[in-house]
Amino acid sequence: MSEKAFLVAIGFKGEPAYRLSESLRELEELTRSAGGMIVEGMKVFLERPHAATYLGIGKLEEIHGRLDATKADLLIFNQNLSPVQMRNIESSVGGRRVVDRTGLILDIFSRRAQSHEGRLQVELAQLLYLMPRLTGRGVLLSRLGGGIGTRGPGEKKLEYDRRRIRERIGRLKKETEKIRRHRLLIRQGRQRKDFATVAIIGYTNAGKSTLLNSLTGSSVLVEDKLFATLDPTTRIFRRADRQILFTDTVGFITDLPPNLIEAFQATLEEMGEADLLLHIVDVTHSQAGEQKEAVDKILKQLHFDDKPIVTVLNKVDLIASEEEKQRLVHHYPGSVSVSAKYRQGLETLIEKVESCLKERNSHRDSSF
């Protein structure tokens, strides 16, 4: 049975109202992806966060009343909360569970992880997130494994003292380092075979898996859900004497939790070692520009922003106006417009990819 979730989207004064509305909408999508049933959503503007409770006491009392009225099981925030803030908010709302943005995303990752390496990386991210939240929290330990924000390591694995948890984190880091070395060997093997590699990146649910399927004739899982793809998938594209490896990668999101970036370093390196990045943008999304900026910001964090990137404007079949299509092309110079679902514009995209790869190879040759 789905848990009843009450959502709170917090924005700050000076920000446009539409941004907070979009943040609430994304929080709703994340909650559904985690299996929650939304009973109500609330938007709150703050001057600044309160150190102890993030929200003011009056607003927390209002939320407590709405939780009672809607019989919600848990309270989910669009912001990240400190361990102290989470404890204090729980006390203010009758002991109901509180889940912040990072906890919610980690929960979805735990649901999505299919491969052994994916599960290892998710567990590492969860333990790094939970470690500072375990002190004096027998209540937290008793709840683990029981719903949104608690999946993954489970109660048994977390009923250790902090020393043993640190030991587990150390072992997981060694395992993920093995994954990095294994992936490095695979990439070196591809280089020896002279395979060109292209990583498909973008905001979550932008259409990356659909594009991979359309380009390579594969059948990677496609769902209209956030983070439908977690484990990277590589497929080969063949044309005449040309072979290109396309890799579908985990989707990005605004303010991607640092623990995820650290734990998924082995997976993210697939992007760093690619010859070319295809940045997929869902042009039908109301916040397409902000989503592109969020991805660009993460690429900069990872030091991948110096790699050759082709912007791919996806879902143009849903744009009826030719004027709007032209505006998009001018707004994103050098981009390629496609409909991954209906295979429109793919020939132009392949020509662009081959041109960029040829240019990259010529730069490499001239550097020797």
User: Model confidence over 34-69: pLDDT tens digits?
Assistant: 999 999 999 999 999 999 999 999 999 999 999 999
Q: Which of 31-35, 163-167, 235-239, 250-254 has the highest mean pLDDT?
A: 31-35
pLDDT computed for residue 159 by the predictor: 54
Same domain (yes/no): 254, 363: yes
Same domain (yes/no): 363, 223: yes
Residue 131 lies in domain: 113-173
Tokens 């390629």: give the residue. Answer: 336
- Cα–Cα distance, 78 to 36 (Å, whole number): 15
- Cα–Cα distance, 242 to 194 (Å, whole number): 10
- Where a domain ends, among 68, 99, 130? 99
- Cα–Cα distance, 36 to 284 (Å, whole number): 26
- Cα–Cα distance, 311 to 332 (Å, whole number): 7
For 171-192, what is each residue's pLDDT tens digit? 999 988 888 787 778 767 766 5
Q: Is residue 65 part of a domain?
A: yes
**What are the two backbone dihedrals, phi and then psi, of residue 343, each rounded to the nearest 5 degrees?**
60, 30
Same domain (yes/no): 159, 218: no
Same domain (yes/no): 230, 268: yes
Supply the pTM of this predicted model.
Answer: 0.84
**What are the two backbone dihedrals, phi and then psi, of residue 320, each rounded to the nearest 5 degrees?**
-80, -35
pLDDT computed for residue 121 by the predictor: 84
CATH number, residue 290: 3.40.50.300
Q: Is residue 293 part of a domain?
A: yes
The residues with which 238 forms a beta bridge, in sequence order, are 243
Task: Find the angle CA(336)-CA(198)-CA(256) to the nearest 5 degrees.
Answer: 85
Same domain (yes/no): 41, 162: no
Same domain (yes/no): 95, 119: no
Residue 324 has pLDDT above 80, yes or no: yes
Same domain (yes/no): 136, 243: no
Q: Is residue 186 part of a domain?
A: no
Q: Which residue has the higher pLDDT, 130 or 277?
A: 277
Q: Is residue 41 part of a domain?
A: yes
Same domain (yes/no): 39, 158: no
Q: Is residue 210 part of a domain?
A: yes
How many domains does the chain contain in total?
Answer: 3
- Cα–Cα distance, 178 to 182 (Å, whole number): 6
Same domain (yes/no): 259, 165: no
pLDDT computed for residue 144 by the predictor: 46
Residue 139 has pLDDT above 60, yes or no: no
Contact 308, 277 (CB under 8 A): yes
Q: Mean pLDDT score of the chain, rounded to an integer?
A: 85
- Where a domain ends, among 50, 68, 99? 99
pLDDT grade for 219, boundaries at 50, 70 and 90: confident
Q: Is residue 206 part of a domain?
A: yes
Q: Report in angstroms the alpha-carbon separations of 66 from 8, 119, 230.
A: 11, 36, 35
CATH number, residue 63: 3.40.50.11060
Same domain (yes/no): 212, 359: yes
Residue 303 has pLDDT above 60, yes or no: yes
- Where a domain ends, among 99, 128, 144? 99
Same domain (yes/no): 226, 125: no
Crossing angle of the two packed helices 101-112 and 17-33, in degrees rounded to 10: 40
Tell me the helix, strand and coil percentages in the chain, rounded to 5. 50, 20, 30
Q: Is residue 183 part of a domain?
A: no
Same domain (yes/no): 92, 128: no
Residue 216 has pLDDT above 60, yes or no: yes
Long-range CB contacts for residues 182-191, cutoff 8 Å, separation at least 24: 183/266, 183/269, 183/270, 184/269, 187/270, 187/273, 190/245
Q: Is residue 201 part of a domain?
A: yes
